Amino acid sequence: MDSNWNNKQASSSLARLLPLLSERYENKVEEAEWQGYLERLNRHFPRLFGLLHQLYGKEYDFFYHLAEILNTATKAWINRAAELKALDAIRENDPIWYQSNRMLGAVCYVDLYAGDLKELKEKIPYLKELGASYLHLMPIFRTPEGDSDGGYAVSSYREVNPELGTMDDLRDLAREMRNHGISLVLDFVFNHTADDHEWALKANAGEEEFQNYYRMFPDRKIPDEYEKTITPVFQDDHPGCFTYRSRIKKWVWTTFHNYQWDLNYENPVVFNRMADEMLFLANQGVEILRLDAVAFIWKKMGTSCENLPEAHIIIQAFNAVMKIVAPSFLFKSEAIVHPDEVNKYISEEECQLSYNPQMMALLWESLATKKTTLLQHALEKRFTIPQNCMWVNYVRSHDDIGWSFSNEDAEELQLNPEEHRRYLSQFYTGRYPGSFAKGLPFQEDPQTLQGRVSGTTASLAGLEQALVEKDEEKIELAIRRILLLHGVILTMGGIPLIYIGDGIGMLNDYDYENSPEKIGDTRWIHRPKFDWEKSKERSDPESLTGKIYNGLLKLLQLREKTQALSGSDTEFIDFGNEHLLAYFRHYESNSVFIIANFSNKGQNIAGNKLRQLGMSKTVTDVVAGKTIIAAQNLSIEPYQFMMLIGVR
Ligand code: GLC
């Protein structure tokens, strides 16, 4: 779009809208504060205008929608607590606060970890012990009775699930965490609402206004057309992407479960109302929103209905709204799609943070194959993201592990992508001969055996099997694998995100099979209730828990001490050894060098190779606490993780 035209239109619209805003809100705040707000509005409005114009410019009442969104934004800013506005100001002066090596993410379910929000407040010391500065709470809002996709079917964005507490408890927790330097991260489940959300109930009662909030069709004609090009997500749950609702005799778009109704962002009212919900969350003290299922928010006939350009425009428009109201705010993208598509959501104007599903999947791939070739190949292609943006690197999440590497990458390494994925699923579900892993298949196609995998880090890394076999050597190898994976996510450019419970080596929990709400969904095996008793063993360094926990704690502390691990500058080094992953991290004038051995056999690096990389006479491996003479051959133990300092 012509930017001159855009800026002219934007400024004339703003000139018309400002008197309305001033009249309503100006006298509610101090003059200087109001001026500060107007300054941000003037700065970001042209971008917001351009984005909304692309989506809704053809609507006859576009100007009305624009007025509505600015009203929503300004009202939210007026209602924003002084302490949050103060945080905005601090972060505006330190816009890259989240790039520090002190950033460490943790994720948990409130009920499984602590019971409820009040209890969680009591657990803050444990989070501090890990050094967490970011805590993602899995969905905590009101959901339908029974199955709710682990909270991802939201009945109200403004009511906490009563079993977990109240909105007051949430604000209280957010404040307490903030005082301890921990940012609260929550999901913004904005692709769909639960079918008992107020809007859905009205739609289901026949109110056309609310039926237009969703995507509904009177017969199969259009759904059939769409389904020709869409890949179903939860095909075990329902085939295709639509659910029939007999009361209104309509087919409703349900990408995920049949009780999760996809919102219709073609309707500008939906954008506005969801912006209102988003700002409400921001005003409760949430500092980072995890944008759930970003890939699916726009649909277009004849396409896969994933990753469409309009999906990006919507997120950018939300981002612009946030920059006006709560400039300290960050978005984290949850795009579990082709790696090239994942990267497209990452920019300062869209999502500053993004899960790194490619790296997650390929870390597991490297453990299975004992080779880092595909991992390194993929990272070299796609690891670099725009400056000021950060990967969120993780070993596993609450979701399954999908083999989301690119087919082209695999083919370039002479691997058949389909076969390789099948092999990995077989390996991690313990069906491949010699596998150390104990996972369960998730959404596996019985014909092709293509599918994803569920399991906790410890069980997938071999601990569960080794404990059954009571094999000390295998237990030791499993511990090493757990620490190796964490070593990489803690040192690779980005923010590491740890699943609480993995730090004490929690195993799969097969209890979900006894719950009618959970039984169909194997992801529940890797969502065990945090074992506080077991966690006490962490103070005994000789115990199994102690070995895992203290190993992890050491890595966490090293990360915190190592400035070179700030930011995301990562330089991969190829030693020509397919079992090793090696990389420099640089930040300002600091550097650190990482070597990770993914093989169960020892490896060697010839002495001159380290010298060639510019390493001086001696360097220190701070993990083992050993001095290394750069000119001598370096031997690396099975699954050893090394962090060399003094390298440049
Ligand atoms: C995201 C969540 C997943 C959920 C889905 C639908 O992918 O991580 O758990 O099932 O969105 O909301």
Closest alpha carbon to 185 in 169, 165, 168, 170: 170
DSSP class of residue 29 equals S
Supply the pLDDT for residue 1: 61
Supply the pLDDT for residue 35: 96
**Rounded to whole angstroms, how far apart are CA atoms 517 and 521?**
9
399 in contact with ligand 1, CB cutoff 6 A: yes
357 in contact with ligand 1, CB cutoff 6 A: no
Best residue among 109, 197, 292, 337 to mutate for probing ligand 1, ranked by most atoms within 8 Å of CB: 292
Is-contact 237 313, C-beta < 8 A? no
Distance from Cα 277 to the centre of ligand 1, integer Å: 19
DSSP track, 431-466? -STT-----EEES--TTT---EEE--HHHHTTHHHH
Strands (E), 203-299: 216-217, 242-245, 250-253, 260-262, 286-291
- Which two structure tokens, joined as six digits, stand for 45? 């409005």
Order of strands across the sheet with 626-629? Answer: 570-573, 580-587, 590-597, 641-645, 618-621, 626-629
Atom from ligand 1 closest to the CA of residue 191:
12
Best residue among 149, 155, 234 to mutate for probing ligand 1, ranked by most atoms within 8 Å of CB: 149
Catalytic residue among 292, 464, 502, 621: 292
394 in contact with ligand 1, CB cutoff 6 A: no
- Which two structure tokens, joined as six digits, stand for 424? 């990995």
**Rounded to whole angstroms, how far apart are CA atoms 518 and 588?**
49
Supply the pLDDT for residue 616: 79
Angle between helix axes 268-283 and 31-56 (nearest 10 degrees) is 150
Angle between helix axes 417-428 and 357-369 (nearest 10 degrees) is 70
Site of tokens 């906790």: 456
Best residue among 236, 238, 241, 399 to mutate for probing ligand 1, ranked by most atoms within 8 Å of CB: 399
Is-contact 547 479, C-beta < 8 A? yes
**Rounded to whole angstroms, how far apart are CA atoms 371 and 34?**
58
Domains of the chain and CATH, by start: 192-262 (3.90.400.10), 564-647 (2.60.40.1180)
Is-contact 354 346, C-beta < 8 A? yes
Supply the pLDDT for residue 239: 81
Supply the pLDDT for residue 178: 97
Site of tokens 């971008």: 47
Helix (H) or strand (E) holding 85: helix 82-93
Distance from Cα 233 to the centre of ligand 1, integer Å: 10
521 in contact with ligand 1, CB cutoff 6 A: no
Alpha-carbon torsion angle 493, 498, 503, 509, nearest 10: -140
DSSP track, 148-204? -GGGTS-SEEEEE-TTT--HHHHHHHHHHHHHTT-EEEEEE--SEEETTSHHHHHHH
**Rounded to whole angstroms, how far apart are CA atoms 277 and 289?**
12
Supply the pLDDT for residue 58: 95
- Residue nearest ligand 1's atom 9 by CA: 399
**292 is annotated as an active-site residue:** yes
- Which two structure tokens, joined as six digits, stand for 41? 């509005």
Is-contact 105 492, C-beta < 8 A? no
* Signed CA dihedral, 68, 69, 75, 78: sign only: negative
Atom from ligand 1 closest to the CA of residue 256:
6
Angle between helix axes 309-325 and 62-79 (nearest 10 degrees) is 40
188 in contact with ligand 1, CB cutoff 6 A: no
Number of neighbours of residue 584 by Cβ within 10 angstroms: 19
DSSP class of residue 563 equals G
**Rounded to whole angstroms, how far apart are CA atoms 243 and 253?**
7
3-state secondary structure string across 355-377: ECHHHHHHHHHHHHHCCCHHHHH
Distance from Cα 256 to the centre of ligand 1, integer Å: 8
- Residue nearest ligand 1's atom 3 by CA: 399
Site of tokens 């796609």: 382
Beta strand pairing call for 603-605 and 634-636: antiparallel
Atom from ligand 1 closest to the CA of residue 234:
10
CA 81, 82, 85: angle at the middle one, nearest 5?
90
DSSP track, 473-526? HHHHHHHHHHHHHHHHHHHSSSEEEEETTGGGTPPP-GGGGG-TTTTT-GGGGG
Site of tokens 């002084």: 82
Catalytic residue among 187, 196, 306, 334: 334
**Rounded to whole angstroms, how far apart are CA atoms 506 and 516?**
23
**Rounded to whole angstroms, how far apart are CA atoms 54 and 49?**
9
- Residue nearest ligand 1's atom 4 by CA: 152
pTM for the model: 0.97
Closest alpha carbon to 497 in 345, 315, 334: 334
In Å, how far are 51, 53, 67, 313, 348 from 1, measured between CA atoms? 10, 10, 22, 13, 20
Beta partners for residue 498, in sequence order: 106
**Rounded to whole angstroms, how far apart are CA atoms 268 and 214?**
12
**Rounded to whole angstroms, how far apart are CA atoms 205 and 629?**
75
Distance from Cα 496 to the centre of ligand 1, integer Å: 20
- Averaged in consecutive runs of 10 residues, what is the pLDDT profile of the chain (648 residues)? 88 96 96 96 97 96 97 98 96 92 97 98 97 98 94 98 98 98 98 98 98 98 96 81 96 96 98 98 98 98 97 98 96 96 97 98 98 97 94 98 97 98 97 97 91 97 98 98 98 97 98 92 97 97 97 98 95 96 96 97 93 89 95 95 90
256 in contact with ligand 1, CB cutoff 6 A: yes
